[in-house]
Every structure is written in structure tokens, then in C-alpha cells.
């Protein structure tokens, strides 16, 4: 209750500052430490083209930029970990999701200042959203909850929750608002939903897909376009990487007006691949499609009308040679840093880019293929060692021919949805689920088999073996470890608002620590791992090492696959079959109620 009262008080303070005669940007900017990196992850352009706004992830703020003058005129703190931002179609309201605080923030521009006008708690780590043409209805992807929240902006309430696939990070609406396309990255599929009934009309699978990025509709409402990557489940060799047979990048589209197999193009150029495609925008005249390749620091510019999209049997492993030979059909613009969200101005020539690592908003000219303006959003003049390590983590140029980055597998330091062969145990095709990197320095030894006891050596092997790149310098290795050791873990959305456990989770906790389930015999301590190697009968014949390192249970709610092989797609199967008490320690089978309580507790960790 205190936190809500404090939030209301802060809102009133912000409102009074916005409308007060002497309100000044400098006064409010002091609230946000000028030495804090802004890290803009997304941006939006007002319908009249006058204003730009950025969602700044690490500073928890929104910046207001005068588009014509090219300068920041205001900044307002909104919440924890902003993820997505946009104007309502009528331009009166700005919406932004705060992923870690579970909120949708509503802002307005009053007398050239930002004003907070409302907040809707949606929970579940909200990320992308889509605004209906009525300026009232918003659909918000709840990544941790496998749901889309339908929000009414007039009542500031969630009016419906729609169950979808795992990790619905980004979504888009048809221009008439009747079809909602949801990128369920955890299940590697695009779901198309009838907004009137909230029923899924059809799902389009993305075989072996990971990391679905931004989505946008075509003007005629026929297609939803999106970026994604594909993991091909082949041994990590130089030849396989260069053929696009390990990780590769795609732009795809699915029909919004009826089920039809997805169509796609390959993005990767031989010896100069594309990595971590993320942002996506289509020009108003329908002639250009622009994507951000965040791992290779560039924009990818395509002539849309004759893009060679291929459905069944395609699109092939490398870029269509016709695109590669024609710079009007395909070109690359180096912008540096980490380009993320994009907007194309009404002139169909200017692209605005939220550049995460440069703490800037960039203006790029599609004709000259140059960055013509860079607007500093604030932050330190010299990056800290951790920030330098962050740049390495997101940089695909540390891999062979820049095919993938650390982020490609450990999305934002976490996990992805596929078991992978990282080759770090010296064997091919012993696929294992990707382990999260949060609290990495506290969870040694490392790897599923626990053979790696030297974190410094582990970092170097990641670059030279898993990524087949060059040996990093010691300075680079130290910076990367500094970044990982200071990277915060996302807050758990499955606890009560005050951080306490639900009644079911409390019962599950007691069971977890009891001799009845004996979970804490191995999953002990603050990270729920004893750091020891155990053989509990879950191994594979192809394993090079015996036994498995007890994995941390922190962040269990984030997973969509469990066990080292990923063969469990639910916690229920883990507890009742593959890793049940009777199989692990010969204890009696858990009842259905005990399983439910234990799952509630595991999700709260």
C-alpha cells in the first residue's frame, strides 16, 4: 500500500511540474543520474512528425525529443526496464511498457513536457504491445505469463487476458484492428487471433525458430512481417556456420487473412553474415522495409514490392543472390553501437533509430545511406568496464564471419527455447538447454556437467569454440565477466506484490525442504544449487562426462524446457516423471495437490 501511495504522489508531482509555469527540464533531469546509461531499446514518432520519444531501458525513463531541432527537451522516469513505446493513433497519448515492474504507463505531452497520466498494472513482464484504431484498446504481450492482456485506456483496467504461446514478446494488429498476430518466441510460432472473440484462428510454426523480434503489418492488412533467427541443430564447425547451418537470420511474414505457410527471406551474406535482427519498419509508401541487425551494428534496407519471399521449401541458407547484386534491392548501413527499435518518417527517406549502446537516437538518410544526425540522450562520457563487457556480449563480430553473438543464445543474459550443441564439452551433437547467466559468478562450477571450474577460461572457450572466433584479449575477458557479474536478474512476477509467497507456494516451500520431496538435498543455498555433480539417472550415452552439475532453480518460471536435454516441456513432467522423487531418491510419489504446490513454489524462485 505504501508503494502505491508513493507512486501516486510521484505522479502528482510530475503532473504539477508539467503544468507549472516554471517547470524546466533541467530540474527534473536531476532525478535521473546524468551518469546513468540510457540504453534506448525502442522509439516512437508522433503522427504529426513533431515529437520523438525513446524508451530507455537502464535508466527507467522516457526521453522527449524535438524532431525538427534534434534535441532532448524533457525526460521522465516511468518504471523498471521500459521495453516498448508508441503513440496512440490520434497522437494524444504515449504508451510504454515497464517490463520488470509489470506496468503499462500512459504519458502526455503538455507545454513541451512529459506528464504521467496513468498506470495499468498488467504483471507478467509486459514487453511489446499493439494499439487498436479506436485509440482505446491495447493488447500487451506478457512474456512471463504466456498471455496477452487486453487493456482499456479509459478505465485503465485489464478487461481480458488471452492465453497464447510461451514468451509473447512482440505482436501487431491488422490496420482495421480485427486480427492480432502474436510472436510466441518460446514456442517458435506466430499465432493469429480474432480480436472480437479472442480466439486463436491459426498458428504458423517457425521450425527451429528462436528470438522473434519486432512485428509490423502491411498497409493492406494481408501480412504481418517479423524478424527471427533459426537454429539448425548441426555440429558447430566452420563449414556449417558459414553455410548457415548453425544459426541464421530471417525476415518472415504470415497471412493475417487466412492460414497459409509462412514466407521468408534469408538475410545472411557469405563471409559477412547478419546477426540478431530486431527492429522492423515499413515506409508509408510501401517501397522500403528496414530492419535493424543489432548484432552487426547496421540497418538492412530492402525494396519491399519485389522481395523474393519463399514459403514451403525455402528460403535457402544464404541471401538470394539477386538481392546481393542490386544495391537498390538490398543495402547495409553501418550505424555502430546496437541499433534496436526503428521508425520511418513520412518522407519515406528518414529512419530514426534507437541505438542502445550509443545512448543515442540516430537519424539515417536512406538515399545517402548515412547517419545524418545523432542525438545524445545522456550517460557517461566513458563506458564503464561492465558497459564495455556488455558491448562485447551483444557483438556478433566476435564470432566467425559475425554469424551470432552471446546474446543470440543467451537472450539478454537469459535463455532461449532450444537445446543446443555448444561443443564446449568436446563432443558433437550432445544437445543441452542453454543455461542463464544471471548471478554467474555465484553458481560455479559451470556447464551442465560441471567440469568447467575456471570462469576466465570458460569465457575464452565461448569465443574460440562455440563461436569459432578469435581469442579475446584479457581486457575483453575481464570486461565480459564484469558485465555478467553485475547483470541484475529480472524480478520474479510469481510472488505476491509485497514479495511474499502465496499460500500454495508456501506449502510448496515446506515440501521442497522436507524429507518427503528431498529437493533441498541438492538444490540448496541462496542459488538453490550445491555446486556438486550428481548422477540421478538422466544421462545420455553420448555424454562425455558422468553426472550433472546441480542447476540453479532461480528463474525457473522463465523456462519453457527443463532437464539438460530439454525433453521436459512442463514442470509437471519433471516432478511426476523424469525427475520425480521416486526416481531420484526412491521416495513415495507426490500427490496431485503436492505437485501443484511444489510448482507454485518453484515458479516463485
For 116-167, how does the pLDDT look when each residue is reduced to its tens digit (9 = 90+)? 999 999 999 999 999 999 999 999 999 999 999 999 999 999 999 999 999 9
Mean per-residue pLDDT over the chain, rounded = 93
Please count the residues of the chain.
Answer: 605
State how far the Cα of 206 lies from the Cα of 183, in Å rounded to an integer.
10
Asked if pLDDT for residue 29 goes beyond 50, the answer is: no
Cα separation of 71 and 74, whole Å? 9
540 or 106, greater pLDDT: 106
pLDDT at 185: 97
Looking at residue 376, its pLDDT comes to 97
Report all structural domains of the chain as residue ranges with CATH numbers, in order of start: 35-129+140-163+350-379 (2.130.10.10), 166-334 (2.130.10.10), 385-486 (1.10.760.10), 503-604 (1.10.760.10)
Contacts of residue 493, Cβ cutoff 8 Å, sequence gap at least 6: 102, 123, 124, 125, 144, 145, 557
pLDDT tops 70 at residue 12: no
Q: Which residue has the higher pLDDT, 221 or 431?
A: 221
Which residue, 308, 304, 272, is CA-closest to 291? 304
pLDDT of residue 429: 82
pLDDT at position 290 over 70 = yes
Residue 183: Cβ within 10 Å count: 33
Phi, psi of 442 (to 5 degrees): -100, 0
Q: Are 598 and 511 in contact (CB under 8 A)?
A: yes
**What pLDDT score was predicted for residue 3?**
38
Band the pLDDT of 366: cuts 50, 70, 90.
Answer: very high
Note the pTM of the prediction, 2 decimals.
Answer: 0.93
What mean pLDDT comes out for the span 418-437?
86
- Please state, in angstroms and rounded to a whole number, the distance separating the CA atoms of residues 451 and 445: 7
Cα separation of 590 and 507, whole Å? Answer: 13
Amino acid at each position: 500500500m505504501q508503494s502505491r501511495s508513493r507512486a501516486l504522489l510521484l505522479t502528482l508531482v510530475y503532473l504539477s511540474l508539467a503544468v507549472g509555469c516554471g517547470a524546466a527540464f533541467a530540474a527534473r533531469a536531476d532525478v535521473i543520474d546524468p551518469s546513468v546509461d540510457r540504453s534506448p531499446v525502442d522509439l516512437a514518432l508522433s503522427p504529426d512528425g513533431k515529437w520523438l520519444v525513446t524508451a530507455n531501458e537502464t535508466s527507467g525513463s522516457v526521453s522527449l525529443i524535438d524532431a525538427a531541432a534534434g534535441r532532448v527537451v524533457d525526460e521522465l522516469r516511468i518504471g523498471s526496464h521500459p521495453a516498448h513505446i508508441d503513440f496512440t493513433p490520434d497522437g494524444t497519448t504515449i504508451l510504454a511498457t515497464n517490463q520488470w515492474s509489470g506496468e503499462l504507463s500512459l504519458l502526455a505531452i503538455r507545454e513541451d513536457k512529459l506528464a504521467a497520466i496513468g498506470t495499468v498494472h498488467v504483471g507478467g513482464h509486459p514487453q511489446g504491445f499493439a494499439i487498436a484504431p479506436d485509440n482505446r484498446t491495447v493488447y500487451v504481450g506478457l512474456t512471463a505469463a504466456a498471455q496477452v492482456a487486453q487493456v482499456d485506456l479509459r478505465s485503465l483496467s485489464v478487461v481480458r487476458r488471452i492465453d497464447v504461446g510461451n514468451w509473447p514478446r512482440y505482436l501487431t494488429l491488422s490496420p482495421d484492428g480485427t486480427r492480432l498476430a502474436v510472436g510466441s518466441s518460446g514456442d517458435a510460432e506466430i499465432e493469429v487471433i480474432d480480436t472480437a472473440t479472442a480466439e486463436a484462428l491459426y498458428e504458423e510454426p517457425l521450425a527451429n525458430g528462436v528470438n522473434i523480434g519486432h512485428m509490423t503489418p502491411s498497409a493492406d492488412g494481408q501480412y504481418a512481417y517479423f524478424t527471427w533467427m533459426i537454429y539448425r541443430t548441426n555440429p558447430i564447425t566452420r563449414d556449417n556456420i558459414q553455410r548457415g547451418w548453425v544459426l541464421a537470420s530471417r525476415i518472415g511474414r504470415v497471412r493475417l487473412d487466412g492460414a497459409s505457410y509462412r514466407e521468408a527471406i534469408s538475410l545472411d551474406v557469405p563471409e559477412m553474415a547478419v546477426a540478431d535482427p530486431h527492429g522492423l519498419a515499413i515506409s508509408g509508401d510501401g517501397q522500403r522495409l528496414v530492419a535493424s541487425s543489432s548484432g552487426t551494428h547496421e540497418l538492412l534496407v530492402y525494396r519491399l514490392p519485389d522481395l523474393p519471399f519463399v514459403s514451403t521449401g525455402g528460403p535457402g541458407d544464404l541471401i538470394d543472390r539477386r538481392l546481393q547484386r542490386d544495391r537498390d534491392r538490398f543495402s547495409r548501413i553501418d550505424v555502430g553501437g546496437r541499433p534496436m527499435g526503428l521508425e520511418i518518417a513520412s518522407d519515406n527517406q528518414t529512419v530514426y533509430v534507437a541505438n542502445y549502446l550509443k545512448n543515442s537516437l540516430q537519424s539515417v538518410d536512406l538515399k545517402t545511406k548515412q547517419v545524418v544526425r545523432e542525438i545524445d540522450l545522456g550517460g557517461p562520457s566513458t563506458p564503464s568496464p561492465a558497459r564495455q563487457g556488455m558491448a562485447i556480449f551483444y557483438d556478433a563480430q566476435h564470432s566467425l564471419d559475425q554469424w551470432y553473438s552471446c546474446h543470440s543464445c543467451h537472450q539478454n543474459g537469459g535463455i532461449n527455447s532450444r537445446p543446443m550443441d555448444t561443443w564446449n564439452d568436446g563432443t558433437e551433437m550432445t544437445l543441452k538447454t542453454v543455461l542463464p547467466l544471471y548471478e554467474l559468478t555465484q553458481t560455479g562450477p559451470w556447464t551442465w556437467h560441471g567440469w568447467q571450474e575456471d570462469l576466465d577460461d570458460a569465457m575464452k572457450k565461448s569465443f574460440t569454440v562455440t563461436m569459432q572466433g578469435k581469442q579475446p584479449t584479457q581486457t575483453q575477458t575481464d570486461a565480459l565477466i564484469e558485465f555478467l557479474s553485475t547483470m541484475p536478474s529480472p524480478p520474479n512476477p510469481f510472488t505476491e506484490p509485497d514479495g511474499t509467497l502465496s499460500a500454495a507456494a508456501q506449502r510448496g516451500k515446506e515440501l521442497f525442504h522436507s524429507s518427503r520431496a528431498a529437493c533441498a538435498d541438492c538444490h540448496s543455498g541462496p542459488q538453490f544449487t550445491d555446486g556438486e555433480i550428481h548422477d540421478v539417472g538422466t544421462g545420455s550415452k553420448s555424454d562425455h562426462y558422468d553426472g550433472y552439475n546441480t542447476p540453479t532453480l532461480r528463474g525457473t518460471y522463465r523456462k519453457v524446457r527443463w532437464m539438460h536435454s530439454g525433453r521436459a516441456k512442463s514442470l509437471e513432467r519433471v516432478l511426476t516423471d523424469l525427475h520425480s522423487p521416486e526416481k531420484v531418491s526412491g521416495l513415495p510419489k507426490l500427490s496431485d495437490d503436492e505437485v501443484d504446490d511444489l510448482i507454485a513454489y518453484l515458479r516463485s524462485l
